[in-house]
Amino acid sequence: MREDLLGAATVIEVLHTASLIHDDIVDRAESRRGAPATVARYGREIAAATGDYLFAEAFSELARIGDPRLVRAFAEASVGLAAGELEQYRANGAPVDVEAYLEHVRKKTAGLFKVACVAGATLGGLSLVQIDALASYGQALGIAFQMSDDIMDLVGKPGLMGKGIGTDLVEGTVTLPVIFALSEGDAGTIRRVLADPSPTPELLEAGIEAVLATDAVARTEEWARGEIDAALEDLGLLPDSLEREFLESVASEVVGRDA
């Protein structure tokens, strides 16, 4: 079983890497975590083929493990990744409401968290009720993680996440703090940043300040903490153990993290 657990963990990492390579192609990214992005270093054709190859390798490993429940779970997660990226591309800079934002996060970030938990629970021989509880835990954790990431894009330290402050605004990505700020503050300035593919440093700074002048960050953090509370509640269906304590510890570190 240990080999299968390590194999499933590897699949998660490989799928995540493949999705980042494809994301960078769509976003025309120059860097990733402080290093040149695959598409910037090798070009779109090689980057696309590399992402496809990693997806294929991931499912080859799932075939070796041989559990159809895992194949189905990872297939659903992969479909969600692709669908979420397509939706983000189509909605770039366009009005986005809270429910659309949440649906996008469930498909992308939270989808990988969820399938990782499902894989571990399934291979660990847990009951269906416990597998469902861990699936809910993973989804809530992923949503909170993305919301925390949204906050750091506005108030984090440049370089810690391998990108500069305000990157989401520059890319026209409408995050939860931005959605809140558009309804509370200087929507005109924020929309100008979102609509400009290459905003000046002055315009970007004005856009960030327009968001920070509202309660958007505090509201987003409050929502993220609510997701963490829900995730911890889901863990109540698991027996007391070191593994449960570890999952509780992971959840407690998501909101307020630096990177």
Q: What is the pLDDT of residue 74?
A: 95
Q: Which domains does the chain have, with CATH numbers?
A: 97-252 (1.10.600.10)
Residue of 98, 100, 132, 108 whose CA lies nearest to 118: 132
Which helix (H) or strand (E) element contains residue 32?
strand 31-32
Q: Give the list of residues 6+ apart from residue 71 with CB closer than 8 angstroms, or none.
A: 59, 62, 63
Bridge partner list, 36: 31
Q: What is the pLDDT of residue 31?
A: 83
Q: What is the pLDDT of residue 71?
A: 95
pLDDT greater at residue 212 or residue 157 = 212
Share of the chain above pLDDT 70, in %: 94
Find the mean pLDDT for residues 181-192: 94
Q: What is the pLDDT of residue 84?
A: 83
Instruction: Write out pLDDT tens, residues 45-61.
Output: 999 999 999 999 999 99
Q: What is the pLDDT of residue 133?
A: 96
Q: What is the pLDDT of residue 164?
A: 66
Residue 93 pLDDT exceeds 70: no
Type of residue found at 57: E
Mean pLDDT taken over the chain: 91
